[in-house]
Structures are given as structure tokens and as C-alpha cells.
Amino acid sequence: MVDLTQTLHWKDNDVEVHKVVVGPYENNVFVIRCRDTGDAVMLDAANEHELLLELCQGLGVQTVLETHGHWDHIQAIPQVRDAGFAVGVTAADAAMLPSYDYILEDDKMIEVGKLRLHTVTTPGHTPGSICFKLVDKPLLFTGDTLFPGGPGATNSEGSSFPEILASIDDRLLTYGTETMVLPGHGDDTTIGAERPSFQSWVDRGW
């Protein structure tokens, strides 16, 4: 069984964020849990479905939210859905998934117990990439849109470097400097650490 004390990544009085790294591409999978009600959501059913199902069952996950439809982020979807957990994805990326249950829309609130996740569509890495900002908390889950050191890759079909730059500039860098960025791979960063480098990303072209 997974040790939930080892997966705990961030917490305060209201929320727990658990993190595991799975699969050959070392995907970050996050569980956001309301400490008051025990309700939770998982971000990206990426890989290693046995581990993810243990997390879902141990942390009270109600549903799975996909940040985008790339292969490495969706491998565990069939097993997760078979176990009774619904999967949400944006309409623009829905066809990339083997199956799903509902569509995520921009600028909506997803209730997780007493917590609220604000949906922020950020096309560029894929047409339907989406980020999630935890309301009243300094936590922004960016999928493969924003990493330490720059934007996600835009060299695959359906991706766009100008679009991802616009998404980051218009929709993510507007958050406060202290906002933590929790990406789909690798380490955390902050908006304050990344904002000064934006023009350098534009200039380098990737």
C-alpha cells in the first residue's frame, strides 16, 4: 500500500496536495484534498494505474481532471474509469483520450469539498490544455503549459508556440509573484521566478 505520509507535497489547514511521479516520462500526478470534508480530485491519470487507484481510494478522490490529452498523461484512464472514477477533459483534447465522462470548460469553478478549483484554459501545448488555480491558495497546477525555465514543448501536431506564449502571458503570469507553479513534470517554481524570463523565451523561440 502507498504511504500517504510520503506522498504529501503541500498542506495548510484547509488543503492537502499529494504528489507521485509515475511512468517513463516521470509525470507528476497530484491529488488535491479538502481536509475538512475529505473530498479530493486527481490531476492526470498518467500511468501506473495500481498506484493511482490506491491514491484515489486512500484520499477520497471523486473525479479525475486531465490537464491535456497527450499520451503520457492518459495511460491509466481505462483502469481509473473501470474502477468508477469519472474523467474530465476539455472538448478540444477529448478526441485524444481513450474515453472520458464529461467536458471541462474555461472559467468555471470545480468544487472539491469546501475548496474551489478555477479552470483556466491555456492552449498551445495542445489545443485543449487547461490549468487549475486553487482559489484563495497560492497554488497553480499548470500541466505541461508552464515549467521552471519556460513553456512546454510545441513541436507536436496541434501545438503552437505563439499560442502557448499568449496563454502564459495573458492567463498565468497575471497571478501573484508568490503563486506556486506545480507542473506536469519536474519541480515546482513560482510565478515570481518565471515572469522576468518571459521575453527571453520569446527571443529564443521555444
Superfamily (CATH H level) for 4-204? Ribonuclease Z/Hydroxyacylglutathione hydrolase-like (3.60.15.10)
Q: Where are the domains of the chain?
A: 4-204
User: How would you classify the pairing of strands 40-43 and 8-11?
Assistant: unpaired
46: left (phi over 0), alpha (psi -120 to 50) or beta: alpha
Tens-place pLDDT, residues 92-143: 999 999 999 999 999 999 999 999 999 999 999 999 999 999 999 999 999 9
Tell if the pTM clears 0.85, that is, is over it.
yes
Tens-place pLDDT, residues 51-79: 999 999 999 999 999 999 999 999 999 99
Tens-place pLDDT, residues 2-56: 899 999 999 999 999 999 999 999 999 999 999 999 999 999 999 999 999 999 9
